[in-house]
Structure 1
Amino acid sequence: MKILKPLRTLDDFRAHYDNGGHPWNLFSYPRDRVLTPGEVASAAGDLFAGAMVVLRFEVLRDGLPPRESAEALRMLDASMRRRHRKHEPRRVRPRRWAAGPAGRMAIVTGIATPHPHPLTVAGDVRVASMDPECVMPSLIPLRQCARLYFVHEEGGEATSGCLMAVFGGRVNLPPRLHRFAGMLLDTVTGGLRSKPTRYLMGQFAVPV
């Protein structure tokens, strides 16, 4: 998970995104108030404006005042608007986060508290095998390969919130409001020893 610096004003947002894109984006121009896929991808440190790039754009845009947020969206060119419509994340509340199909991007605002009993979380995830002779992914319990949190409303009970899994190392999440962005996923049913569990695979966090 990446902790992103919030962009509080439209000027900050423009300075971050209206950057001219990569050197090969010949039709992207800095400071022209038009955001192309190349510029949005470049700001994210990516080559192409796919689902994660749109997710990052949206979790940062949500930090702007409503009028400036709408103006930031109008800056997208036609190509970037199509990608935005395809990958736009859902905004969900911590208490009602699990509805809808798995595989959707989502943004949930709340306080992240470490799961008090991670060993009780059932379900496996597919992890690529480290054995070059084995092409089948391994099934690993979610609780063993990710740090687990509950994202809950301020003042609310932690266990009533969204189950979030953070992969790939330790992340310092202070007990304050953040916008968490990621993908809603289900664990794999691993026979009798596990059952599907819905969770948010956390990708970005922005302090509110």
Structure 2
Amino acid sequence: MPGFFLDHLEGERALIREDAGHIVKTLRRGEGDRVFAFDGLGNRLECEIVRADRREVDLRVLSAVPAGTEPRVSVTLYQGLTKAPRMELVIQKCVELGIGAIVPVVFSRCEVRDLGTERLGRYRKIAREAAKQCGRAVIPRIGEAIPFSELLQARECLICPYEEAEGYGLYRGLLDRAGRGRYGIVVGPEGGMTREEAHSLREAGGGIVTLGPRILRTETAGMAVLSAMLCVYGEME
């Protein structure tokens, strides 16, 4: 049976609201039935339904154990803000792969320069659905858009794929930065980052790396780096 994210948890009592209709109408679960849920903090809970209707499912928590589905390394994707269909694809697939957070960044060449409240809400819903679909116990954070200057203050160890980088590949860059614990992947927008932006990232301590002779789309680059990072750091075994 699939797991659901709790909307409220206090002691041994919990509530599910967003997926209540699906639980009651589609799965036909009701009082006395058991379901599995995630608390959003990495734990998997076995619960008994106390009361249920299409608006709200009231639960009693029977047991809780670590879900064991989250990577040991924390990775944030700093994604150049791009058009909605591409951002949605990035969010969905990176959540499936194991990203910890996604923060849109406004680079000089961004065609889209603003992220409205409605669109941000949609992106967060996509992240929630992707996390539920792939069995994750944490919903990755989708942050508000930040200017490039704020990205330079990031505290993570940054890996920055750049199409004009030469002689320093992703694999070597990952090996040189193994064991840092917290990482950030920086991906430019559709038009790429400027040389000045790449230089600023390097000056801030970012690792400017090449992904080889092929130029990847902005929506592909982050997935490629994240997959390689999790593989090299032993998270795909």
TM norm. shorter chain > 0.5: no
Larger Rg: 2
What's the TM-score, normalizing by structure 2? Answer: 0.27
TM-score by length of 1: 0.29
